[in-house]
């Protein structure tokens, strides 16, 4: 059994693995590629099989939003009542959020090459704001490692943690606020223009991403807790040793 | 199937990224847990959490 595992995490972990296998089936076998016929030219248009990348790109972006939201909530609680539990949850969630944001950027870039004919577009506000969000999350993780007392570190990182949620809102709304400065489309889920099975697979991928996030968060939180205990136990041991040495000298 | 290379790269980076991260967390946890006595390795909940700066 792993050091941070429990029955809940094992069940959840197995469910995520089965879900991942099911997602691969749904994404590559059950759903159709995006192919439409252009009304004027009669040619085939659409994203073709590249559309299957949305089943990993969209959940990665959604999980990044969620993870940074949890970090911001944790940061607010830390600033209010100095809770160690929320400080560790905020840090664990930010690390997973950074991973998710990086995956969203990479998969988006891979999807953009065949569809937009470019790996990256500096003028696109959503790409740029997502990159800023990713960099800010790295900054948050760096601030957590700065020298100082536990209280100072927690306060400093909590302030940066709150900035993350502001940036999440900007990223999410960017395609509407600056609709002429983005290659991204606005939300298509509400338009009901996506086929049923494609829509189901998209929602399933987001649900699976959520389950994977919860699994990782539990393990990462428990690791952070163990590291904290290890640090404190090591300190206690050193103090005991010094005390024993001092007593040995005085007698 | 079209765009096979892009699909392999996109899905691959997600599976490798998530799998690699999960593996590294479990490995680090096993290493740290070996140094922490059992009685100190109980997870706290938000209710019994202590305040930052308290020992």
Domains of chain A: 7-183+193-250 (1.20.120)
Pairwise CA distance, residues A164 & A68, whole Å: 6
Average pLDDT, integer, range A112-133? 94
3-state class (DSSP) for residue A187:
coil
Residue B2, chain A, CB below 8 Å: the answer is yes
Residue A123, chain B, CB below 8 Å: the answer is no
Residues of A in contact with B30 (CB under 8 A): 2-3
Q: What confidence score (pLDDT) does residue A150 get? A: 84
Q: What confidence score (pLDDT) does residue B1 get? A: 85
Closest CA relative to residue A213, chosen from A62, A58, A2, A5: A62
* A53 has a pLDDT exceeding 60: yes
**Chain B interface mutation, best of A1, A2, A3, highest count of B Cβ atoms under 10 Å:** A3
Give residue-wise pLDDT tens across range A191-227.
Answer: 556 678 999 999 999 999 999 999 999 999 999 999 9
Q: What confidence score (pLDDT) does residue A136 get? A: 97
Averaged pLDDT score across all residues of chain A: 91
- Higher-pLDDT residue of A227, A239: A227
Pairwise CA distance, residues B50 & B53, whole Å: 9
* B55 has a pLDDT exceeding 60: no
Put simply, the chain A residues between 150 and 179 with a CB less than 8 A from any chain B CB are 150-151, 154
What the block records as the tokens of A187 is 């939300």
Q: How many angstroms away from the CA of B11 is the closest CA of chain A?
A: 7
Counting residues of chain B whose pLDDT is more than 70, the rounded percentage is 87
Task: Check CB contact under 8 Å for A216 and B25.
Answer: yes
| Residue B47: φ, ψ to 5° | -75, -40
Q: What confidence score (pLDDT) does residue A178 get? A: 84
Task: Check CB contact under 8 Å for A233 and B11.
Answer: no
| Residue A170: φ, ψ to 5° | -65, -45
What is the interface size between A and B, counted as CB pairs within 8 Å? 128
Q: What is the 3-state secondary structure (H, E, C) of A102-128?
A: HHHHHHHHHHHHHHHCCCCCCCCHHHH
* B47 has a pLDDT exceeding 80: no
Residues 6+ apart with CB under 8 A from B21: A96, A99, A216
Average pLDDT, integer, range B2-21? 97
Average pLDDT, integer, range A1-16? 90
Our CA angle for A96, A102, A105, nearest 5°, is 140
CB hemisphere CA count around A186 (13 angstroms): 11
* A249 has a pLDDT exceeding 80: no
Residue B50, chain A, CB below 8 Å: the answer is yes
pLDDT band at residue A60 under the 50/70/90 scheme: very high
Q: Which residue of chain B has the CA closest to A106?
A: B10
Our CA angle for B3, B6, B11, nearest 5°, is 120
Identity of the residue in A102, A219, A226 whose CB atom sits nearest the CB atom of B32: A226
Q: How many angstroms away from the CA of B45 is the closest CA of chain A?
A: 7
Pairwise CA distance, residues A233 & A237, whole Å: 6
Pairwise CA distance, residues A11 & A6, whole Å: 9
Q: Which residue of chain B has the CA closest to A214?
A: B22
Q: How far is CA A7 from CA A2, A12, A167, A215, in A?
A: 11, 9, 36, 12
* CA dihedral sign, ordered A83, A88, A91, A97: negative
Average pLDDT, integer, range A46-56? 94
Averaged pLDDT score across all residues of chain B: 87
Residue A3, chain B, CB below 8 Å: the answer is yes
Identity of the residue in B17, B32, B34 whose CB atom sits nearest the CB atom of A227: B32
Listed range (A131-135, A209-213, B29-33) with the worst mean pLDDT: B29-33
* A74 has a pLDDT exceeding 90: yes
* A43 has a pLDDT exceeding 60: yes
Query: Which DSSP string do the residues of A9-59 spell out, in sequence order?
Result: HHHHHHHHHHHHHHHHHIIIIISPPEEEE-TTT--EEEEEGGGGGHHHHHH
């Amino acid at each position: 059994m792993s050091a941070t595992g429990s029955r809940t995490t094992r069940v959840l972990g197995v469910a995520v693995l089965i879900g991942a296998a099911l997602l691969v089936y749904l994404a590559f076998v059950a759903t159709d590629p995006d192919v439409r016929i252009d009304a004027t030219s009669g040619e085939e248009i659409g994203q073709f099989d590249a559309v299957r990348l949305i089943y990993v790109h969209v959940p990665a972006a959604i999980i990044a939003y969620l993870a940074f939201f949890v970090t911001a909530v944790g940061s607010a609680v830390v600033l209010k009542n100095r809770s160690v539990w929320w400080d560790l949850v905020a840090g664990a969630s930010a690390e997973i959020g950074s991973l998710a944001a990086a995956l969203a950027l990479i998969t988006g870039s891979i999807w953009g090459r065949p569809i937009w004919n470019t790996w990256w577009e500096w003028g696109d506000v959503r790409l740029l704001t997502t990159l800023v969000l990713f960099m800010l999350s790295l900054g948050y993780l760096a601030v957590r490692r700065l020298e100082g007392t536990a209280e100072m570190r927690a306060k400093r990182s909590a302030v940066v943690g709150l900035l993350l949620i502001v940036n999440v809102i900007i990223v999410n709304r960017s395609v509407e606020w600056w609709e002429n400065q983005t290659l991204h489309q606005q939300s298509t889920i509400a338009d009901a223009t996506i086929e049923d099975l494609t829509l189901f697979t998209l929602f399933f991928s987001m649900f699976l991403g959520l389950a994977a996030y919860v699994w990782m968060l539990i393990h990462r939180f428990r690791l952070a807790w163990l590291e904290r205990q290890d640090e404190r136990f090591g300190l206690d041991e050193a103090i005991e040793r010094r005390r024993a040495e001092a007593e040995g000298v005085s007698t | 199937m079209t765009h096979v290379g892009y699909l392999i790269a996109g899905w691959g980076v997600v599976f490798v990224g998530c799998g690699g991260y999960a593996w590294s967390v479990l490995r680090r946890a096993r290493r740290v847990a070996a140094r922490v006595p059992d009685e100190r390795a109980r997870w706290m909940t938000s209710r019994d959490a202590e305040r930052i700066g308290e020992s």
